[in-house]
Every structure is written in C-alpha cells, then in structure tokens.
Copies of this chain bind each other. A is one copy, B any other.
Amino acid sequence: MNKVKILDCTLRDGGYYTNWDFDKSLLDVYFKSVEKLPIDVVEVGYRSLPQTHYLGEFFYCPQFILNDIRKSLPSKKIAVMLNERDNAPENVASLLGHLKESIDIVRMAVDPVRFDSGLKLAEEIKKLGFEVGFNLMYMSKVMKSPDVFAKFPSMNGLVDYFSLVDSYGGVYPEEVRSAVEKCKEVLSMPVGFHGHNNVEMALINSLTAIEAGADMIDATISGMGRGAGNLKTELLLTVLNAQKKLSIDYNALSDVVSAFAAYQKKYEWGTNLPYMVSGANSLPQKDVMEWVGKNRYSISTIVNALNNQKENVMDN
C-alpha cells in the first residue's frame, strides 16, 4: 500500500472546462485505467441542488451514476465535493441521505472566511455516516491569518481529511513545507495538499508536502482542472515510481493520458502567460479563466488587466 494516499479529482476539477459533461468513451477509459492505478480515492464530481443554468451530470452526480462508478471502481474510495457556500446544513440530508452505499467521502470546498459554516456543514455530513473532507481554499492567506489557524483544532474528531488548497497556484515549496508542518502539529486527521500549476510548482510543492508529512495529494489526469490546472496524476505517479515508492501499470496510465490528450487540445487547459501572472502575484484565476475562455481578449490585454489588478491590490 502507498504511504501517501493519492486522490484523483479529474472529473470534478476538469468539469470546469466541460461543464461537467464528459464523453462516454472517455469515461470508460478513465474508470478502467484508474481502477488499475495506485490511486486511493476518486473524486468524481460535485453533488448539488438543482441550478438555474445548465450544468452536466458530474455537477450533480445522481445516484444511478454513482452506483455505476462504484461498480467500475470496486477497489477505490469514491468521493464527491460540495461547495460549502452553496449548501446549507439543513439541505444535507436530502442531498446525501440516500447515498450512503454509493459514496465514501464527502469533501467540502471552504473559503477561510466561512470556516465556522464549514464546521456546521461537516457536522451534518458526519451525522449521515460519511467520511468528511475539508478543503480549505487560499492557503497562502490562511497561513498568514492567526485567527483562522487558531480554529484548526476544532476540526479534530469531526473532519476525516483536511487539505490545504493553493487556490492561486502561487505558493512556493518552503511555504508548503511550513504550512503542512504547522497543520500536522495541531490536527489529528490526515493532512493533504491540492496544488495548481500556474507557475509549474504543483509537483515540487506536492513532493515537498509529502516530505513535510502530508498524507494525501490531489492530482488530475493531464492536470485537467480549473484555470492553469492541477498537478498531473501521471507526473506524480511517474516520479513516485522512479523513487520506487509505488508500482504502475504503464499501459493503463498511457491509455488514460492518451484519451485526455485529445480533450486537452479541444479545451486547452494548462498554464499560459495570464495564468503565470495571476499565480505569481496571487490574483484570483477565476477572472483569468473567463477572459482567456472568451477568446475575445489578446494575451496582452489580459496581462495588462492583471497588472492593473496587482497594482490596486498593492495600493490597498
């Protein structure tokens, strides 16, 4: 068994590019390959109440889909994510109550300013018998905020997996090391790291997190994920394999990487100059993703807009 657990969240985080719709043939390759790879947890999508605008099935993860996935991935833990901001504790029972056999872990994406609401939501999820994951966004801000960090011990005994999220894709390895070490001192549950690749630090940040004691690393096939994308699952596995820390079925890995390569050409995730600027300066990449996606703005227009944003941030 791996000492460090690997969580693949390709469908959940990659869905930002496809509106959470994926081709059936891609899904077949994905599930078949992932089942053969040393991945411990597969986060397959969001679980959500009905929205006013169209979003694909992996944004909702209805029970019949989750049950199909369970059959395809008999050796894996299955996770779904909730956006804490969009899900009130009183809705949790109707959202998740009937899914006890279909999923193992419910992770929440939590903005640090809503830490207390995150705890309340975690309590309701826990009551239903799920393992609870707590993904805390904006780690670069969090670790500089003594108020938020002081609340960390209140997760002990309630939260089963805690992860630091490098939302801007701009943290450096030494910041990751320090943050993971601080978390390990006060938290009793496994501590994870979710990196973004704006400045191509997702791998070194994740390896540094492991060195510092992290128990779980998030990654996605080909790095498919919001904005500049995530740590590439194939890169993490290849490097850990070269370090003799795990074995890989390279046929399975090649199959799934090839399948996503075609998708990458269509959706073009990955870093680029605007994402580098947003990452290096800790600016939100949500705006950049919208500007880049629209193909209406030149790189130069976007980069200059980001630089204005940076100046304003520094003026305030």
Contact = CB atoms under 8 A, between A and B. Distances in A.
Given A173-B173, A235-B276, A303 B201 contact: no
Interface residues on A, range: 35 or more
Interface in A192-244: 197, 199-204, 232, 234-235, 238-239, 241-242
B200 A299 contact: no
A298 interface: yes
Interface string A263-274: 000000001110
16 contacts: A199-B235, A201-B204, A234-B276, A238-B276, A241-B280, A250-B277, A250-B300, A250-B303, A253-B273, A253-B303, A254-B273, A254-B300, A254-B303, A257-B272, A258-B298, A258-B300
Contact of A280 (B242, B253, B258): B242
A251 interface: yes
A290 to B, nearest CB: 18
A109 to B, nearest CB: 25
Which of A200, A257, A307 has the most chain B CB atoms inside 10 A of its CB? A200
Q: How many copies does the complex hold?
A: 2
Contacts of A188: none
Interface in A243-262: 250-251, 253-255, 257-258, 261
A281 interface: yes
B199 A201 contact: no
A145 interface: no
A304 interface: yes
A172 B197 CA distance: 17
Nearest to A274: B254
Which of A202, A238, A258 has the most chain B CB atoms inside 10 A of its CB? A238
Interface string A156-187: 00000000000000100100000000000000
Nearest to A276: B238
Given A199-B239, A234-B276, A238-B273, 11 more contacts: A173-B204, A197-B200, A238-B277, A242-B277, A242-B280, A242-B281, A251-B304, A253-B303, A254-B299, A255-B300, A258-B299
